[in-house]
Structure 1
Amino acid sequence: MKVHGRVSLIVGWITLFLIGIDLFVVSPLMPFISEAYNTSSAMTGWMITVFAITYAIFAPFFGWLSDKHGRGAYITFGLVLFVISNILTAFAPTFFWLIVSRILVGLSVASIAPLLYAIIGDVAPPNRTGTWLSILASGHLTALWAGAPIGILLEHFLGWRSVFVALALMGTILAVVNHKTWKNNSKSHSTRNLLGGNLLRIFGSVSVTTSWAISMYALYVYLGAALYSENSFSSLEIATAITFYGIGAVIGSLTGGQLTDRFGEKKISKLTLIFLVLILVCLGIFFTSSIWIYFCLFLWALIGYAGFTSYTARLAGEYPNERGSVMAWNMTALYVGITLGSMLGGYVISNWGYTLLPYVCSSAAILSFALSCQQVKETNTKPAETGRG
């Protein structure tokens, strides 16, 4: 059983890494795609927008289905659709079909990513849930900094379309592997109806993630432009700074899981939010320092993603019977927060400049901490069922 669990974790990590590459590789390939379809950069950016919207809408639906009917079949379905949609991306005859392909990718990832978090929460040892979820999350975070170089390298030698062909080939292999891995984990562990008060409880819980995402992405989205404008950083210096951030994110995720298992989900999730408030204030103070900025970015990502991992583990523990739905709503809350954060960041930049952004992010972290302290009572639909919430 231990061996099967570890194999499941490895399969989940590789799968999240692959779909993470698909998400993060689009941005550096945009100039080449724009040239191929004779479109503006703003128009090509809809490739990312339609993906995010589709994911946010459909992830809760697949989470709900997985709680009722099991997770394995939907993960396999998502990977098959992932393969088809990436082939369409590679060979789309017009820009319209290119956008359709990215909508289908968003739909496929909606039935993969949150369900992987849920199923790893299902199979993890009771005292190792945080660690296992943190290892799983590190697959997606590794793609954050590895996706761009891999995509650029393939584009340089084989053209941008080869990137999506490679993703489709890897997706084909992983569809088979995931099917074999999860075929014995297909039965549902829940018969609970998620309508009514319990759904409102879930919304209250995942609002913490929305506020957290604003605190992380209101600045991160504009980080390169901010470093160039305020610090006169070169392209190499900007890449180095973002690398520090990426390394901090991976280490933070892994460390957060271990701390969570040792000291408890609630304690670590709240403590990391307090430290996140403080490091964002320090980031604001030292933002124009060419030396300290690297260390501050590293700490920001380290603490921020340790908090995300610990809160994900907290949700997995508080909602054992609705884990698929909650993980899906949590990922939707994440994307909502990223969208709101980018909008808020743009507004702040337009009116007050880049230097105020860390303090705005710190305020969002304070809100996230306040929401994490709320006590939302569970509405039980069946007296016989008990939970940790």
Structure 2
Amino acid sequence: MNNMERRFLMARKHGEEERLLGRDFVLVCAGNFLAFFSIYLIVPVLPVFLEEKGYDNFLIGALMSMMVVAALLRPFFGKLSDMRGRKGILVWGVFLLGVSNFLYMAFGSALPLFIVRFLNGFGLAAFHTAAYAMIGDLAPPTRRLQGIALFYISVDATIATAPLVAEFMRDAWGYDQVYLLAGFLALLAFAATLPVRKRNSSTAQAARRSR
């Protein structure tokens, strides 16, 4: 192998290592988009649904605030994903999110809805924490900030579009159709992330050291 061929192979290898939009990266971002779209379908219509059921503002606020669980549990799931790996937490979190989205159609009383909201927050916390960690593992070190920015664009896009879709669907077909779509999209996120290869902190660190 002459010097020119060697330089070509080294440049090709470097380009592959620095590639950001690999299969797993795209699948995780797609799953994140679908999961958050499902959440932001529910956020604008649930308070109106509860008000129509006769709940007062305090109870409505308490039910909506159950999603704070997502923020409180993230450190726990972050540590767990470091110890046990990202993949299991990623897929089971979004699966739980999908199932709990469907449960909105089954319950109208306060206690079951508190449980559903808790499951929503629990599933979202698990999924989003593992997805964020996995994006950090997948992105090349020199492009990690760009990778994280693209990851959060997939969230911002849902904030801009999902509430409009939810309002239209509620007015046209009712609340159950919104909840049905939210559950279906979260299960699509489950399907999108299922092929993602298993990764944990040790394999990610080894991959970074080898670069």
Q: TM-score range by the shorter chain?
A: 0.7 to 0.9
- 1:95 matched residue in structure 2: 110
Which of 159, 173, 186 lines up with 1:144 in the alignment?
159
* Unaligned residue ranges in structure 2 (runs of 5+): 1-15
3-state secondary structure, aligned to 2:142: coil
One-letter identity of the residue aligned with 1:185: K
Match of 1:59 among 67, 74, 82: 74
- The count of corresponding residues between Structure 1 and Structure 2 is 189
Aligned pair 1:9/2:25, yes or no?
yes
Query: Which of the numbers 179, 185, 204 marks the counterpart of 1:164?
Result: 179
TM-score normalised to the size of structure 1? 0.45
How do 1:280-291 and structure 2 match up within 5 A? none
Q: How does 1:293-304 map to 2 (within 5 A)?
A: none
> Partner of 2:11 in structure 1?
none
Aligned to 1:114: 129
Distance in 2 separating the partners of 1:177 and 1:4: 18
* Runs (5+) with no aligned partner, structure 1: 191-319, 322-385
Q: Is the Cα–Cα contact under 8 Å of residues 51 and 105 in structure 1 kept in the other structure? A: yes
- Which residue number corresponds to residue 10 of structure 2? none
The 1-side partners of 2:186 and 2:39 are apart by 14
Partner Cα separation in structure 2 for residue 175 and residue 156 of structure 1: 28
Note if contact 2:101-2:179 (Cα within 8 Å) is conserved in structure 1. Answer: yes
Q: Does 1:34 align with 2:61?
A: no
SS of residue in 1 equivalent to 2:141? coil
Give the secondary structure class of the aligned counterpart of 1:39.
coil
Deviation of 1:174 (Å) = 2.1
Question: What is the CA distance between 1:110 and its match in structure 2?
Answer: 0.7
In the TM superposition, structure 1's runs of 4+ consecutive aligned residues that sit over 3 Å from their partners are 1-5, 22-27
What is the DSSP-based 3-state SS (H/G/I as helix, E as strand, rest coil) of the residue aligned with 2:202? Answer: coil
Secondary structure of residue in 2 paired with 1:45: helix
> Matched residues in 2 for 1:44 and 1:152: separation?
18
Compared CA separation, residues 17 and 77, structure 1 to 2 (3 A): same
TM-superposed deviation, 1:5? 4.8
| Partner residue in 1 for 2:7 | none
Aligned to 1:186: 199
The offset of 1:126, in angstroms, is 2.0
Change (3 A) 1:131 1:155: same
Kindly, what percent of the aligned residue pairs are identical?
20
Per the normalisation by structure 2, the TM-score is 0.79
| Distance 1:6-1:47 versus aligned 2 partners, 3 A rule | farther
Distance 2:38 2:190 in 1: 15
Label 1:110 to 1:149 Cα distance change in 2 as closer, same or farther (>3 A): same
- Written as runs of structure 1 = structure 2, the 5 A alignment for 1:1-389 is 5-29=21-45, 30-35=47-52, 37-52=53-68, 54-181=69-196, 184-189=197-202
The answer as to whether partners of 1:31 and 1:41 remain within 8 angstroms in 2 is no
Q: Tell me, what secondary structure is at the counterpart of 1:50?
A: helix
Q: Supply the RMSD in Å over aligned alpha carbons.
A: 2.4
Cα distance in 2, alignment partners of residues 24 and 46 from structure 1 = 18
- Cα deviation digits, residues 133-189 of structure 1 (max 9, x gap): 1011001111122121011011112212221211111222221221211xx323441
The question of whether the paired residues in 2 share the 8 Å contact of 1:55 and 1:110 is answered with: yes
Per-residue CA shift, 1:38-84, capped at 9, x if unaligned? 212442222320111x1122211111010011100111110111121
